Structure 1
Amino acid sequence: MVFSTRDLGRSPGSMETLNEQVPAPADVGNALIGIRGGSELELDLRLEAVHEGILVSGTATAQIAGECGRCLDPIEYDYEADIQELFYYEESEEFEDDDDVDQYWVVGDLIDIDPVLRSAVVTALPFQPVCKEDCLGLCNECGINLNDEPEHHHEVLDPRWAALAQLSDNVTEDSDKN
């Protein structure tokens, strides 16, 4: 998602708005949830020339898709990411020695907002997404969705009593033979 800033020039105070719908990049998210690659991404941005570079501010609206971390049901919703980032001119040396600060650059007359978008969206996504706060998840014995059958359960026999249960079964079989 590279955009030209040629029309802004380098005179502080000049501004341009960018309202576009572009295909969303792939692999924006984590293993369970993220932007659906190729889906429509709506950008509503303002590009402003400032002394140090180009200030990009506005929103990016994307469709988030994934699955619940408890029951694996699909999750889909629209998310509006706020974007505000300064793209420094190449000759700027403001943060050159600081590796801890994310720096974005105007290369030639072009800016790439892909890393800014990724940063804004991925940090806002839930680590363990759920379809609803009280999702019961799946049965750990048989895998049935407990939201559909909340009364579902399995008889759990304490393994310490397993030998006694076998003895009881043997007694029952012997009495049936007689």
Structure 2
Amino acid sequence: MSTQRTEHTPRPDEHSPWVFSTRELVRRPGTQRTVTRTVPAPGGDEVIGLAGVIAVPDSSDVELDLSLESVTEGVYVSGTATARLEGECSRCLDPLSDEIEIRIGELFAYPDSVTEETTDADEIPRLVDDRFDLTQAVRDAVVTELPMAPLCREDCPGLCSGCGERWADLAPDHGHETLDPRWAALKERLPSAE
């Protein structure tokens, strides 16, 4: 049963900077090591963030500061990931950038462990060939921290619905007169007050 689950877990690409070896930790509970690594953010379909809204730019640096600890059921990975974010303001559509630091805490289960045998393959990540890929754990942690509607500043006034210009660039008395079409003929007959 556990062999089938391991077969469904993709084999980590050992050449990926997002893949970590746990060979010296495996099956030795209490053994720990720290890892600091700078990795390029994945791009394309693998984007970290909300595509088209706010995300870590492709190939930009992601700083990982991690602790890998062997526990009875696998290797527990904890620490932080820090990255630059780019996107656009949801009100005025101006570009924006920010930095995010997120906490990571993820158990990667050993093959044939009780955890591996009692959970579905998509519930908890697995170690494959004593390696794990941290990409999905970082992606999940970043997405939960991102605003669904990012703003360039909290009081961003947005865009004028009449002309589409940024309210911040318009005069305070800016406005658009909207005349009910039923009164248009009457307006032509009345003298204009200038």
Both proteins in one fold, TM over 0.5:
yes
- Checking the alignment, whether the CA contact within 8 Å between 1:14 and 1:48 is kept in structure 2 is yes
The residue aligned with 1:153 is 175
The residue aligned with 1:165 is 184
Whether 1:22 aligns to 2:1 is no
Deviations 1:15-34 (A, max 9, x none): 11110101012212213111
Q: CA RMSD in A?
A: 1.9
Which runs of 4 or more aligned residues in structure 1 lie more than 4 Å from their structure 2 counterparts after TM superposition?
A: 95-101
The residue aligned with 1:110 is 131
Q: Tell me which amino acid in the other structure corresponds to 1:58.
A: G
> TM-score, normalization: structure 2?
0.80
The residue aligned with 1:53 is 74
| Bigger-Rg structure (1/2) | 1
Deviations 1:58-96 (A, max 9, x none): 000011110000001111111101001111001123264
Percent same amino acid at aligned positions? 46
The answer to which of 127-136 and 146-155 deviates more is 146-155
For structure 2, the 5+ residue unaligned runs are 1-17
Residue 6 of structure 1 aligns to a residue whose secondary structure is: coil
Identify which of 57, 74, 81 aligns with 1:36: 57
- Checking the alignment, whether the CA contact within 8 Å between 1:28 and 1:122 is kept in structure 2 is yes
Structure 1 or 2: larger strand share? 1
- Checking the alignment, whether the CA contact within 8 Å between 1:33 and 1:64 is kept in structure 2 is yes
- Checking the alignment, whether the CA contact within 8 Å between 2:92 and 2:156 is kept in structure 1 is yes
Residue 100 of structure 2 aligns to a residue whose secondary structure is: strand
Give the direction of change, closer, same or farther, for the CA distance of 1:149–1:55 in structure 2 (3 Å limit).
same
The answer to which of 61-70 and 5-14 deviates more is 5-14
Q: Give the superposition deviation at 1:101.
A: 7.2
- Checking the alignment, whether the CA contact within 8 Å between 1:95 and 1:101 is kept in structure 2 is no
The residue aligned with 2:28 is 11
The residue aligned with 1:175 is none
For structure 1, the 5+ residue unaligned runs are 173-178
